[in-house]
Amino acid sequence: MELIDLTMIWILILGFGVLMYVLMDGFDLGVGILFPFAPSDRARDDMMNSVAPVWDGNETWLLLGGAGLLAAFPLVYTVFLPALYIGVFLLLAGLIFRGIAFEFRFKANRSRYLWDHSFNIGSTVAAFAQGAVVGAYIQGFETEGFQYVGGPFDWLTPFTIMTGLGVVTGYALLGATWTILKTEGETQAWAWRITPWLLAGMLAFFVVVSVWTPLANERVFNRWFDNAHILWIFPLATLLVCWWLYSAIRRRLEGTPFVATMTLFVLFYIGLLISMWPYAVPPEHTFWDAASDPGSQLFLLLGFLFVIPFVLGYTAWTYWIFRGKVSSDAGYH
């Protein structure tokens, strides 16, 4: 046994990277999902302005996740992507269309509605595809040795559609609470109004998925119902945070709902990992099976330890520069 378990370190690093992606791109995808429901064009301008400076950096975490998986857990990369082939295409197409919508919407006059659709549909499809990935992960993959051998649509089942819609709703909640934080006036008033409904919707999906998962999956069932009662602290905490979020909305606290929603996502994330642990490519392969050579993990780790603090520093710096409310008169022309 080696002195340090590099695989464990990489689970933590990539776990952190994926969480960063979910939280950060989550709210800007959410803004896109909510786009057509905004009360006015002015509100849409505000919403887009609020995420415009940061969405690109947010999305870079997805690239980090992709390349990092190839480096540290190649099996995850080479089973998930073929298994989700069509879903990955939809995800990429969605991200492209919403990306160029940022660039072109404010330049368009007659065709602006087209870029609105492009932004909304692209964001929604991308969010749904990500939710389906989560569902497919829980569902497991048909592998032989170290290769995916299932069909092209194994990932698309009632269960993954449910998780896909759940993530769309969850991202919308992140987007709504972000909008509360960053806007004022009618836009914010609208965001206050829809947030409780989105919370209720997400909670409903949470309950359905939480009940469905152990019933459909014996391993998950045993994990939660055997004797590890301490684990029940997480669903309990989820309910408490929901209450915290709801009361913050009632008291019209501007920052708390966004923080509370992010906390919810962290709890879901931990719950997911508890359910699936230690499987990277269920039902057969653990993270340790999926790991690359320790030499490669170490080679990259040394660089990451040096570079990632800088990346986090600049990211924080960007958010600091663009802090505060988006003011309508400072929008694009």
Instruction: Give, as ranges, the residues between 69 and 98 that touch another protein (CB under 8 A).
Output: 69-72, 74-75, 77-83, 85-86, 88-89, 92-93, 95-97
Of residues 88 and 208, the one with the C-beta less far from another protein? 88
Using the rule CB under 8 A, is 16 a contact of another protein? no
**DSSP secondary structure letter of residue 5:** -
DSSP letters for 74-112 = HHHHHHHHHHTHHHHHHHHHHHHHHHHHHHHHTT-STTH
- Which residues within the stretch 30-49 sit at the binding site for another protein (CB under 8 A)? 49
For the chain, what percentages of helix, strand and coil (3-state, to nearest 5) are there?
A: 80, 5, 20
> What's the Cα-to-Cα distance from 4 to each of 10, 294, 297, rounded to whole Å?
11, 10, 12
Using the rule CB under 8 A, is 189 a contact of another protein? no
Of residues 222 and 327, the one with the C-beta less far from another protein? 327
Using the rule CB under 8 A, is 9 a contact of another protein? no
**Cα angle, residue 53 at apex, residues 263 and 129 outer, rounded to 5°:** 55
- Which residues within the stretch 129-148 sit at the binding site for another protein (CB under 8 A)? 146-148
Of residues 80 and 224, the one with the C-beta less far from another protein? 80
Q: Check if the beta carbon of residue 162 is closer than 8 Å to that of residue 198.
A: no
> What's the Cα-to-Cα distance from 31 to each of 131, 210, 229, rounded to whole Å?
17, 26, 38
Using the rule CB under 8 A, is 62 a contact of another protein? yes
- Which range of residues in 36-44, 130-138, 150-158, 206-214 is near another protein by CB under 8 A? 150-158
- Which residues within the stretch 264-293 sit at the binding site for another protein (CB under 8 A)? 292-293
# binding residues, another protein (CB under 8 A): 74
**DSSP secondary structure letter of residue 43:** H
- Which residues within the stretch 295-314 sit at the binding site for another protein (CB under 8 A)? 295-296, 299-300, 303-304, 307-308, 310-311, 314
**Cα angle, residue 110 at apex, residues 106 and 114 outer, rounded to 5°:** 70
Of residues 49 and 213, the one with the C-beta less far from another protein? 49
Site string for another protein, 107-126 (x = CB under 8 A): xxxxx---------------
**How many Å apart are CA 138 and CA 220, to the nearest integer?**
9
Of residues 62 and 194, the one with the C-beta less far from another protein? 62
**DSSP secondary structure letter of residue 216:** H
Q: Which residue has the tokens 């803004």?
A: 31
Of residues 229 and 333, the one with the C-beta less far from another protein? 333
Phi, psi of 148 (to 5 degrees): -75, 135
- Which range of residues in 178-186, 201-209, 227-235, 324-332 is near another protein by CB under 8 A? 324-332
Q: Angle at which helices 85-105 and 74-83 pack, to 10 degrees? A: 90
Using the rule CB under 8 A, is 325 a contact of another protein? no
CB of 310 to another protein, least distance (A): 8
Of residues 59 and 116, the one with the C-beta less far from another protein? 59
